[in-house]
Chains A and B, each alone.
Chain A
């Protein structure tokens, strides 16, 4: 037998050493796995905490208290001009009609009693009555039962946030009002229903009638502008850079810059928008058109990068085959490469749009972080977006806004999940793998 060479361990020794270290190595692996599990556990715990907190606060935000009143719709009182025009109804005394119904139901008497009762009902009640009459003019001259939102203080009381044990002067709702509420409850006129205001109402300083419709429409308009600009531009850039551009210094610099742009803080794009579109072109502030352009600038790098990845994933054999049967390079791209890369491009675009949907920082600069009541009718009407609405609500002092904020967050999350689900669906169903 030869003497073992220097530095070489005989097999028996090696095996014994391996056996000796085996336990420690296995323990090491177990430890590592445990760390991994702990990390995931902590992340999940935070996620659960976040969702529990949002949903426990948000679900009540989808509901609110209403009161049903027998309203005597006096023709002269509500429509003084008699032409059912918006102006005439505005000039009419819708408030008085509702107040009278309320006084009758609560039995409120005297100046202080009537004042206390008057504060129980939302300021939005008048608008609701006017809208009902415009929708159905036959209501004129009749007595109808209508459901109106309760004021936010009364709502908070009914939810149990204001205790009647607290001294009267420290409550936002006084003893008389509590008495009226109890009476209305006994008459079964108060109901806890789905809050149509949350979905169909626009921004308001009265939390009971505030809704997300204006912000939602604003978000959609902004995203539409963003999509129209960013998608074709992003895809065209990606196709050119991947399929046509020569590989030289200039394209390299462009490539590096696109990658860097993807990491630029979004507020920078807002400053750009302010300087260029508002400063140089003199466009008005707060309009979804500029918001969309700014967000398009922000999402362009994301779309370009994902589109290029999608194009690169198309095997070269497809191109070779197309070129081989005599297609031009443009035909190769439009007939073969683009259709095959489209699912990947769409996925990237949807994820970019989802990102844009959640942005507020760039919009701050161009005046879209604002209180805007009118629902925008087009891209040049002032408008705001969902995350801005959430941000504004979170800062208002009225307590009912806490629930509204969480409810709006649920709606926004819903849309984000929906968009991501579509992206995943497209990826799984339409994408071809080679």
Chain B
């Protein structure tokens, strides 16, 4: 009986030491963050993993905030080494980094266009950024519809039912736009670039009404909830399928999905530019954002392969590389040189750099 008790105790001790032994060095890179950067980061990770001397990095999704917060959470192999983000780190997020004693280097890897698209069988949309914002923002000035109502001091629920209500030149179709949910970085960028900057900060009536109501242009970021804008979930493929089935609907998603489905979908011409690879790359298509990753200094040299991982980006981020094949828009060569240099020097990100 004593023997048995002893045996049980020994097993328990062995189990405990086995589990505590895991809390040691990790020999693969751990990455998390933006689902927009994920398809590109995974291409790089896979390419790197083909080198037999390096283990393939593990890439998690979660969203830009997970990437930026995760990399700042602390130092140690239980934390991620690299955070991906489709929006730049903000001063507050950097403070969180500093409060945890984490220094990071910011690397920009390329651009991603956000497109509004519909089926090729449907009516193509040609409109300005302001018109697009007007169609999709939750509240507009009461006078925006050009009716007898000259009250330009209050904001009312968006009254536009059809595209042609905004501008008679637009299609005589009900406004029905599928887009990502609030958790998505694509949605946040779209709301900021189109609703806020494209419409509320440009349109005179909107500016006046906002000033009269004492509200900031930020309120325009809210999307309509009356059925004109429909949340279709995080899966962009679902939106693509819906558009292929329903030619009268439009959808908002990343450029890579338009690129992969260019034979069935067409992108809306926004403020005179077509969402093509060239137009996004040269900056004339304005609804696009930069993609970043943040590398933790304290993990350099501790987790093997971080230098090689960054070098792998340089190999593929060019005009003809595997990343542009997958729909990422490359940076101009001068910018590529800047960030290639940053990989070597590893300048720590400071609040001044974010201004």
Which A residues contact B (CB, under 8 angstroms)?
86-87, 90, 127, 162-163, 166, 170-172, 204-205, 278-279, 281-287, 289, 367, 369-374, 380, 382, 392, 394-399, 402
Contacts and interface: CB of A to CB of B under 8 A. Distances in A.
A370 B22 contact: no
Interface of B: 19-20, 22-23, 26, 28, 30, 32, 35, 38-39, 41-43, 45-46, 49-53, 55-56, 58-61, 76-78, 80, 234-237, 254, 256-257, 259-263, 326-327
User: Top 3 closest A-B pairs, CB basis?
Assistant: A373-B56, A370-B60, A371-B59
B42 A397 contact: no
B52 A86 contact: yes
A382 B28 contact: yes
Contacts of B49: 373-374
28 contacts: A86-B52, A90-B51, A170-B262, A171-B262, A204-B46, A205-B42, A278-B78, A281-B20, A282-B23, A282-B78, A283-B22, A283-B78, A284-B23, A284-B26, A284-B78, A287-B22, A367-B58, A370-B60, A370-B61, A372-B59, A373-B45, A373-B56, A382-B58, A394-B237, A395-B236, A397-B237, A397-B259, A397-B261
Contacts of A289: 19, 22
Contacts of B257: 397
B234 A286 contact: no
B59 A370 contact: yes
Given A205-B39, A394-B237, A395-B235, A285 B78 contact: yes
Contacts of B262: 170-172
B38 to A, nearest CB: 7
Contacts of A283: 19, 22-23, 78
A423 B260 CA distance: 44
Given A172-B263, A395-B235, A395-B237, 17 more contacts: A166-B263, A205-B39, A281-B19, A284-B30, A367-B32, A367-B60, A370-B61, A371-B38, A371-B41, A372-B56, A372-B58, A373-B45, A380-B22, A382-B30, A394-B235, A396-B237, A399-B261
Nearest to B49: A373
Contacts of B45: 371, 373
A399 B260 contact: yes
Contacts of B35: 395
A399 B326 CA distance: 12
- Most B-side CB within 10 Å, residue of A162, A284, A397, A398: A397
A290 to B, nearest CB: 9
A394 B80 CA distance: 25
Nearest to A290: B22
- Most A-side CB within 10 Å, residue of B46, B235, B259, B261: B46
Contacts of A278: 78
A397 B258 CA distance: 9
Nearest to B257: A397
A285 B53 CA distance: 22
Contacts of A370: 32, 58-61
Contact of B39 (A162, A281, A397): A397
Given A86-B52, A205-B46, A283-B23, A397 B61 contact: no
A397 B327 contact: yes
B58 A171 contact: no
A367 B329 CA distance: 28
A253 to B, nearest CB: 27
A371 B56 CA distance: 10
A283 B19 CA distance: 8
Given A286-B60, A371-B42, A90 B263 contact: no
B58 A397 contact: no
B78 A374 contact: no
Contacts of B42: 205, 371
A278 B256 CA distance: 35
Contacts of A397: 39, 236-237, 254, 256-257, 259-261, 326-327
A367 B11 CA distance: 29
Nearest to A373: B56
A403 to B, nearest CB: 13
A317 B133 CA distance: 77
A370 B56 CA distance: 12
B245 to A, nearest CB: 13
Contacts of A205: 39, 42-43, 46, 326
Given A87-B53, A283-B22, A369 B61 contact: yes
Contacts of B30: 284-286, 367, 382
Contacts of B26: 284
Contact of B22 (A284, A367, A372, A399): A284
Contacts of A369: 60-61
Contact of A395 (B46, B234, B326): B234
A422 to B, nearest CB: 28
A162 B260 CA distance: 11
B29 to A, nearest CB: 10
- Most A-side CB within 10 Å, residue of B20, B77, B80, B260: B260
A57 to B, nearest CB: 11
A284 B77 contact: yes
A170 B76 contact: no
Nearest to B253: A397
Contacts of A285: 30, 58, 60, 78, 80
Contact of B263 (A170, A281, A402): A170
Nearest to B234: A395
B275 to A, nearest CB: 13
A381 to B, nearest CB: 8
Contacts of B51: 90
A65 to B, nearest CB: 18
A89 to B, nearest CB: 8
Nearest to A163: B263
A286 B30 CA distance: 9
- Most A-side CB within 10 Å, residue of B78, B263, B327: B263
Nearest to A383: B58
A409 to B, nearest CB: 14
A163 B77 CA distance: 50
A221 to B, nearest CB: 14
A380 B28 CA distance: 12
A397 B46 CA distance: 17
Contacts of A371: 38, 41-42, 45, 58-60
A402 B237 contact: yes
A256 B256 CA distance: 51
Contacts of B261: 397, 399
B178 to A, nearest CB: 15
B76 A282 contact: yes
B263 A171 contact: yes
Contacts of B327: 397
Contacts of B260: 172, 397-399
A371 B59 CA distance: 5
Contacts of A374: 28, 49, 55-56
